[in-house]
A and B are shown apart, each in its own frame.
Chain A
Amino acid sequence: MTSLVEVKKLKKYFSSARGLLHAVDDVSFSIQKGKILGVVGESGCGKSTLGRTIIHLHESTGGTIQYNGKDITNPSAKEIRQLREKMQIIFQDPYSSLDPRMTVEAAISEPLLASHKISARKRREEVTRMMEMVGIDERLRYAYPHELDGGRRQRIVIARALILQPEFVVCDEPVSALDVSIQAQVLNLLRDLQKKQNLTYMFVTHDMSVVRHISDEICVMYLGQIVEKCPAKQLFEKPLHPYTQALISAIPSVDIHPPKNREILSGEITSPINPKPGCRFCARCRYAQNQCHQPQTLNEVEPDHFVACARVSDNEL
């Protein structure tokens, strides 16, 4: 198996008034072709920035990005245009990611108009094909986004991202803005498209049950860094990093028997601006000790199970 996307020591810093914001800090992982990598974490952990940096909506600060074995860390403008046909993104908020003045047809065909010279007839056919594929009724072809509900809008966003037939799609919280019953419809659609077209997803979300459902492998991020990475099921059966444990414990479960004994974290999230070198979770971690103030590395503590925690690596927890 070859990896389709491979990032090594990827960094993305933003300069802010109070210093450098380490949005993504030394992140390394790879995604196999046809697989779904879930990236989960809380707001501000850098998961969205990570996805956007990989597809060059942001320029990386350091590290390398490889696509299909080819280095794409610093592409030329022309290379970016070529890459965008292979790498796409589905945004979180279908209310703001659609131009309010474009009809369904215009929105879906926008990528074709932007990069291809194809006939108007061919373009209409393509739009019809995509609308069918994502389940948008033909009669809505000339509707405007404000006339549609969130689920339909997100289907349009998906159609628009997939019309150029990309191989790799960053799904940035694609169902977070949707109600539960609609969320399930869209998740099924994404899964279906992924299978039929052998797509590779990087699925960014804050929702633990969604990430468990959709992913093959999961990275847990905390303040710009990956703290744990392993196959999806294993993460929930045997979470090793104290943060992952707290995160899983905090999920409001619908299972009321027995009433869940939650681990309640205390302490506040540390600032991602000019962070100290040690483990970024240690201010909230009940296991924190001296060695936690040293830089942490992601170690393979079990086959395919990587954890960035000195205490776990030292077999102390």
Chain B
Amino acid sequence: MSANEEMIRRLAKDRLAMLGLLIFVAEIIVAVFAPLIAPSDPFAMDFTSMLSAPSSAHLMGCDEMGRDIFSRIIYGTRYSLGLGISVVVVSTIAGTIIGAIVGYFGGVADAVIMRIMDVFQSIPSLLQSVVISVVLGTGFFNTLLALSIHRTVGSARLLRGSIMGMRHMEYLEAADALNCSKLRTILKHVLPNSFTPMIVYATAGIASAIMSASTLSFIGLGIIAPTPEWGAMISSSRNYFIEYPHTVLFPGLAIAITVFALSVLGDGLRDALDPKLKN
């Protein structure tokens, strides 16, 4: 049995992680089939039912513009989840390239790039995202960029550390002796053996990217109303929170459930990948 199969078997035994995975997969399905699931248009305003409480017509009630909150949360998966996943994909790819180069080759490139990274990492992530958002403006792609830079630095560092820990392994020297090109060595030998912490980091990263995106949206940066991003929804309804808590409660719950699901999945993955950690 390969190491991967064993890992999957261990993960499958972790009930909480499986629940997380179930929720995550369900949300992705919801995002893909949003138009089929949502009962109404998320942007359609109905002034007759402004701030109306949950009812059979509007499962989660309506917001201050009379938009159906349930439909907005359904569509919101596309933005929140989409943004979270995009941030992780972009930062993981960028981080892998940088981390692999500095980790494997070391030397001057390592010293220079890592000092630049230090500068980025010395700035708190939220502040960094806020500044970039202010400069670039709102919108999906600008927010994606604002959130990806910090994570890129984080994943590059993580991968670099992981690679440095295996650089003395004889099979890398063997790869050299066996005529493997540098590229082949990195792709075939270095990355497969150093990538596991990145998977854990990425999974948990989706959750934190969703949180950060919601935070940005809440303070009016990132993705703004009327786009049904969950953070933006909370932000636009915050003035009505006391009298009409459902306007904030449901998007808040959506964020909480997603973050919970991804966190337990991330923890489960970490335990499954390194069974020694758990005991």
Contacts and interface: CB of A to CB of B under 8 A. Distances in A.
Interface residues of A, number: 29
A85 B180 CA distance: 12
Interface stretch (A108-116, A202-210, A244-252): A108-116
B178 interface: yes
Contacts of A164: 179
A215 interface: no
B116 interface: no
A161 B169 CA distance: 17
B174 interface: yes
A135 B104 CA distance: 35
Interface centre among B2, B181, B184 (most CB of A within 10 A): B2
A81 interface: yes
Contacts of B15: none
A98 B169 CA distance: 9
Contacts of A89: 174, 177
A160 to B, nearest CB: 7
A57 B179 contact: no
B179 A84 contact: yes
Contact of B193 (A100, A113, A114): A100
A67 interface: no
Interface in A92-117: 92-93, 96-101, 103, 110-111, 113-115
Given A91-B170, A97-B170, A98-B171, A110 B178 contact: yes
A64 to B, nearest CB: 21
A114 B178 contact: yes
B171 A97 contact: yes
B170 A96 contact: yes
Nearest to A89: B177
B179 A114 contact: yes
A55 interface: yes
Contacts of A161: 177-178
Given A101-B192, A144-B2, A144-B3, A93 B170 contact: yes
A88 interface: yes
Nearest to B172: A99
B174 A91 contact: yes
A114 B181 contact: yes
B177 A57 contact: yes
Nearest to B177: A89
Tier of interface size on chain B: 10 to 19
Contacts of B175: 99, 110, 114
Contact of B3 (A84, A100, A114, A160): A100
B176 interface: yes
A168 to B, nearest CB: 12
A59 B189 CA distance: 23
A101 B184 CA distance: 15
B46 interface: no
B171 A99 contact: yes
A161 B170 CA distance: 14
Interface string B1-15: 011000000000000
Interface string B172-208: 0111111111001000110011000000000000000
Interface string B236-277: 000000000000000000000000000000000000000000
A96 B171 contact: yes
Nearest to B2: A144
Contacts of A115: 179
Top 9 closest A-B pairs, CB basis?
Answer: A97-B170, A114-B180, A96-B170, A111-B178, A115-B179, A84-B179, A99-B171, A114-B179, A101-B192
Interface of A: 52, 55, 57, 81, 84-85, 88-89, 91-93, 96-101, 103, 110-111, 113-115, 144, 146, 157, 160-161, 164
25 contacts: A57-B176, A84-B177, A88-B178, A89-B177, A91-B170, A91-B173, A96-B171, A97-B173, A97-B174, A99-B175, A99-B188, A99-B189, A99-B192, A100-B3, A101-B3, A101-B192, A110-B175, A114-B178, A114-B179, A114-B181, A144-B2, A144-B3, A160-B174, A161-B178, A164-B179
Given A96-B170, A99-B192, A114-B184, 13 more contacts: A57-B173, A57-B176, A81-B179, A84-B178, A85-B179, A92-B170, A98-B171, A98-B174, A101-B3, A110-B180, A111-B178, A160-B174, A161-B177
